[in-house]
Amino acid sequence: MKKINILLVLLAMVVLSGCSVITGIFKAGVFVGILAVVVVVGIIIWIFSMLFGGGK
C-alpha cells in the first residue's frame, strides 16, 4: 500500500512540473510571436519606404 501512495505522489509531482514547463513554453511562444510581428511590420515599413522614395 505504501508503494502505491509513493507512486501517486511521484506521479503528481511529475504532472505538476509538466504543467509549469508547458506554461513556460507558452509564455516564450507569446514573446516570440510578438517579436515576429514587430519584425514583419518593420520589414513592411522598410519596403514601402524604399518603394516610395524614402531610401534615396
The pTM of this model reads 0.51
Confirm if 46 and 38 have CB atoms less than 8 A apart: no
pLDDT band at 9 (very low <50, low <70, confident <90, very high): confident
Q: How confident is the model at residue 26 (pLDDT cuts 50, 70, 90)?
A: confident
Question: Is 1's pLDDT higher than 70?
Answer: no
9-13, 34-38, 40-44, 47-51: least confident range: 9-13
Rounded CA-CA distance 30/45 in Å is 23
CA gap 1, 34 in Å, rounded = 50
Q: Which three cell numbers stand for residue 46?
A: 522598410
Cα 43 to Cα 45: distance, rounded to the nearest angstrom: 5
